[in-house]
Amino acid sequence: MEVHLERVTATPLGSDELRVRHRAGPRRRGGLPVLPRALTIAVFVSVLAACGGTTKPSVEPEVTQDDAGEMDIEMMVADADPEVDSEAETSESDAHDGEVVAAADAVIEPPADTAVPVDAGEDVADVVGPESRDDIYGVSVLRAESWWVDAGLIYHKDAVRRLRGINWFGLETSDRALHGTWFGRKVESFLAELHTLGFDALRIPVSPESINPGFGAASWAQNAYEAGEAATGREQLERLIGVATDFAILLDFHTCDPTQLGTALPGRPDGCQGYDADRWLADLTTLATLARDHDNVLGIDLTNEPHALTWSQWKALAERGAEAVLRANPRLLVFVEGVAGASRYGIHYPFWGENLTEAASQTPNIPRSRLVFSPHAYGPGIANQSYFAAANFPVNMPAIWDAHFGHLVPSFGFAVGEFGGHYDDDAQAGEVAWNEAFVSYLATRDRRGPASFFYWCLNANSGDTGGLYLDDWTTIDQKRLTLLAPLLAR
C-alpha cells in the first residue's frame, strides 16, 4: 500500500504537524494521530506501524492489484466455491478502477427468507418473560440475565435494545490504546459527550495484543483515564469496559497482527504468521471470559471482514468461533460479518464484510437467540463501483443492499457494524447521496423501527472516511451529526 503524509496546519496548538493517511487502492481507514510537535517524534515509529484501521479493496475477481494495493484477488478466488457468480464482466479499464461492469440499473430480487433450522443450542423459550430461557450448547440460560435475540430484535435482559453505536479504534493497533487522548482529553470526557449526542453503544476493535496481558500501551495513553493508569493494552481494554457503563460494548476481533494494519490484511482470522485457528479460538474465549463480570459487553464480533474466505469457509469458522465464545459466556451475542467477492453475490460486487447473500440459505449453526448478522457498507468515497454511476443512483441502492444483506431483516438479529465516509462530494462525487440513502435505508428497512448500527467512526484520523470529531478531537462535525439524526432519535 501507499502511505501518504499530509501536512496539517490548523491544530489547536498552532503547530504544523504531519499525519499519515493511508491509501491502498479503493479502501482504507485509519491513520496516524495528529500530535503536538513535541510528541510527534516520540510516537511516530510505533504509530506508523499501527495505522489505526484496516484496508479494504473492493475489486472484482481476477483482478490482481499491484504491490501498492491490498491483496491478490486471483489467489483468493482460487479457493472460492465453484458457484461463485460469473455474471459480472470486466473490461480492462474498469478492472483498473476496481469496478464491476454489470447491469447497474438492474433490480435484484432479494433471496427468499429461508433460514435453515439451528441444531446446536436450539432455542427452547416460547415466550418473552422473566423465566424465559435459551438452551446454549446444553446450558439453560435465563434471558433476564442475558443479551439475546428474538424475532430479529436485540434484547438486554427484559428490554429491546436498538443500538446507536460508533466505532472507536486504536486498541487494535500497536499503540494498544484508544486514539485521540494525546491532547490530554480523558476517555471519560469523550464518553460523556457521546452519550449526550445520543450514542449508546461502542464497537471497539482489538487484537491479540490488547486481549492478552504483557503488551505495553503507548506512553501518551497510559494516563488516558480519570479512573487511573493503564500501562498495557489489556489494562486499557479493561479500563474502558469499566468506565463505559452507559454503553453497550461490542468487542471486535479486528486483526491477528497489528503490524498488518494498513498493508495486506489476511482477510481471515487465522491468516497471520505464527497465529492459527486455535489461538484465535483461545483469544475469543479470553474476551468472552472477560465479559462475564461486565454485562455492558453485549457481544463479540468474531472477525473483521473475512474477505478472503468463501461463505462456506467462513460459516465453518464462525461456528467454531461462536461455540468458543458461548461456552465461555452464554449470555453474550455473537456477531457474524459478511464475506466479499469469493462467494455468490449476484451481479453487484460487494464491499469487504458486506456479502451476506447466502446467509439465510446457509445459516451458521449458531444458536439463533445469540446470532447477529453484521454487514459493512461503504460508498463511492471508498471504492467507486459501477453501480454508483448508474443513471438512477442512489435509487438503485436499496435493491443491492437487500440482495447483499437486507433480506435478513427481520428474521435474524441484525446490526450494521460499519458504514460511513467523508460525506463530502468534494472528496468524491456521490458521497452525500450515498450516505443519505443508506441512513434512510436503515431508518425504514424494518417497519418496527430503525436498524441497530455502529457508525465508522469517532476517530479524526480515519484517513479514507474522516470521523465524528474534527482534527482537534474536540469539535464535532455537525454535518455528520445531522446525517445520523434519524438513527439517533429516540
342 contacts 156 by C-beta, under 8 angstroms: no
> How far is Cα 388 from Cα 26, in angstroms, rounded to an integer?
14
- With both helix axes pointing from N to C terminus, report the angle between 478-488 and 431-444 in degrees, rounded to the nearest 10: 20
Phi and psi angles of residue 477, each rounded to the nearest 5 degrees, phi first: -75, 100
Single-letter amino acid code for the residue at 237: L
Determine how many CB atoms are found less than 10 A away from the CB of residue 409.
20
Alpha helices in 21-134 (DSSP H): 37-50, 73-78, 92-97
Pairing of β 452-455 and β 413-416: parallel
Alpha helices in 207-329 (DSSP H): 208-211, 233-243, 277-290, 311-328
- Report the candidate in 28, 76, 73, 31 with the shortest Cα–Cα distance to residue 55: 28
109 tagged catalytic: no
> How far is Cα 471 from Cα 477, in angstroms, rounded to an integer?
10
Q: Which residues partner with 251 through β-bridges?
A: 204, 300
Single-letter amino acid code for the residue at 45: V
The string over 45-60, giving b where at least 16 C-beta atoms fall within 10 Å of a residue's C-beta and e elsewhere, is ebbebbbbbbbbbbbb
> How far is Cα 450 from Cα 490, in angstroms, rounded to an integer?
10
70 tagged catalytic: no
Q: How many residues does the chain have?
A: 490
> How far is Cα 33 from Cα 21, in angstroms, rounded to an integer?
10
Cis peptide before 256 (omega within 30 of 0): no
477 contacts 468 by C-beta, under 8 angstroms: yes
257 contacts 272 by C-beta, under 8 angstroms: yes
Pairing of β 201-206 and β 164-167: parallel
- The active-site residue, picked from 60, 172, 235, 305, is 305
- Report the candidate in 405, 428, 423 with the shortest Cα–Cα distance to residue 415: 405
216 contacts 231 by C-beta, under 8 angstroms: yes
CA 438 to chain centre: 16
**In the structure, how many helices (H) and strands (E) does the chain have?**
11, 17
Residue with cell 500497536: 174
Residues belonging to the active site: 305, 418
